[in-house]
Chain A
């Protein structure tokens, strides 16, 4: 379990996160929801120790959190895509997921895990392709394969138990089919004991996949609840936008829907 106690983050005298206490549990998918600028990505990065908080404490199970090498073997992070070395091939990028585990050259286990990951994300046929020639979706799946490969200690699926996967808006660039595959992935990982923590913009996708929701507004914790506890009022408070429930667990902003209706 990852515990955050009274976490605060100030950068250039601006408060980005204030007094946040929560925990992430292996086998659970936690989704962070909130409007733009609420500090969702920041909270994700602080929890993954990519940024040091300026106040509060974070504890990880059985690792020295000052050691990047130890941390990299129990948590992995899918960042939003940014600048990268586009001359690398797909396979080379996926192999980076094994960097924490091998020193000079990958062994048979590393190679097997990488091949499985290439297969798992249907990018095996692109293995020798340079990243600069990939589409946005293919690139996203390659990065997913990389962080997936990083979860395994050895080739056994049981070796991913009690590890953590952080994902910052993972469905960006993915078409509907691959979005569904991502949800399947999250479910599969949590069933095997991985703690998944992600930032999603799609409320309904969050409600359908999350075990727990963390609501964030202006750097403050606005609520921590299960998807079934979500109501129109809670969303209205969070996004400052009227909502209506249109199905079992389907919420839509009122105004936009009425606009769409005008078109029909």
Chain B
């Protein structure tokens, strides 16, 4: 519990940075929309002013940019809080939302669907559009339940076994994806690498709404687990003495976290490093209280991903860079810095 004053400074700066990023995200892109235009549309929608913009600007903003920014915010928040949950549960700051193999498994399913041309099998157009997402989501859930089942022993989830299972499933998923890449044609290869590197290019109101409806309640449920994660940081036995139903809580945290990752992966592909780095940085800056880490992961994670997505679609206009490249490019050096810093701290 850090001082009240330093916490209010933290939240105020966080809010300022977050809204600057939001403004940056809404006004940047291949189509010019200025701050004035943004203000005008906001006033118009609230009924305070006449619309001064042409229809194209309005539809770019409301049909493309706003849903995309919301999608980025929810994906960033989901991956970060999932990472925070798993890092707390495994008592390992290196735990990543993809730890138990969900992302890699989902990618393997996506590659499978792409190479076999499964989306084209559906004649109904909306099914055709979402077949790949649905198929990937099923893949992610399959891997999740497989991992949990393997690590299950007499009503208890063995975390070490789950970790090892995750390593094996990750390797299996990666090799299947590799094999499929080898067998795929050029166009398919492009689609597969889309999944591997992630992109929010598929954002529209439908995907954003689907993600909102599923993920927001899951995020709220995970937020209530701060006390439990703090107790679990003393070990499973001590958590039990503190009144925690350890077996039930472990399953809840694993399922909620994996569910968040599954929905994100199936809509945007694999976006690396966010879930690993965001909670880690918060812990480094503000201490190990999991209640605080979970809540702040939402704010920092959403801001970070809006920023990364904005960079990914503006850095090489008119093309888009996969967002996974940006997050890893920013995340990996930061992570190396943390490792080196921790090494210095440990090596007295």
- A residues near B (Cβ < 8 Å) are 45, 48, 50, 68-69, 71-73, 75-77, 79, 82-89, 91-92, 95-97, 99-100, 128, 130, 150
Pick from B235, B242, B289: contact of A84, CB below 8 A.
B235
Contacts of B288 in A (CB 8 A): 85-88, 92, 130
B7 within 8 A of A: no
CA A86 to CA B288, docked complex, whole Å? 8
CB interface residues, B 130-177, toward A, < 8 Å: none
Pick from B227, B237, B287: contact of A99, CB below 8 A.
B227
In this complex, the interface size class of chain B, counting residues with CB under 8 Å from chain A, is 20 to 34
Q: Tell whether A88 pairs with B289 under 8 Å between CB atoms, given A68-B243, A73-B243.
A: yes
Q: Tell whether A69 pairs with B245 under 8 Å between CB atoms, given A83-B235, A85-B288.
A: yes
- Interface centre among B2, B242, B287, by most chain A C-beta atoms within 10 angstroms, is B242
B243 near A99 (CB under 8 angstroms)? yes
**Closest A residue to B346 using CB positions:** A132
A92 near B1 (CB under 8 angstroms)? yes
B242 near A72 (CB under 8 angstroms)? yes
Given contacts A99-B243, A99-B244, 13 further A-B contacts (CB under 8 A): A45-B237, A68-B245, A72-B242, A84-B233, A85-B230, A85-B233, A86-B288, A89-B2, A92-B230, A92-B289, A99-B227, A100-B242, A128-B2
**Closest A residue to B245 using CB positions:** A68
B283 near A71 (CB under 8 angstroms)? no
B1 near A71 (CB under 8 angstroms)? no
B238 within 8 A of A: yes
**Closest A residue to B287 using CB positions:** A87
Quote the shortest CB–CB distance from B310 to chain A (angstroms).
32
B289 near A72 (CB under 8 angstroms)? no
CA A128 to CA B287, docked complex, whole Å? 11
Contacts of A95 in B (CB 8 A): 1
B91 within 8 A of A: yes
CA A245 to CA B195, docked complex, whole Å? 77
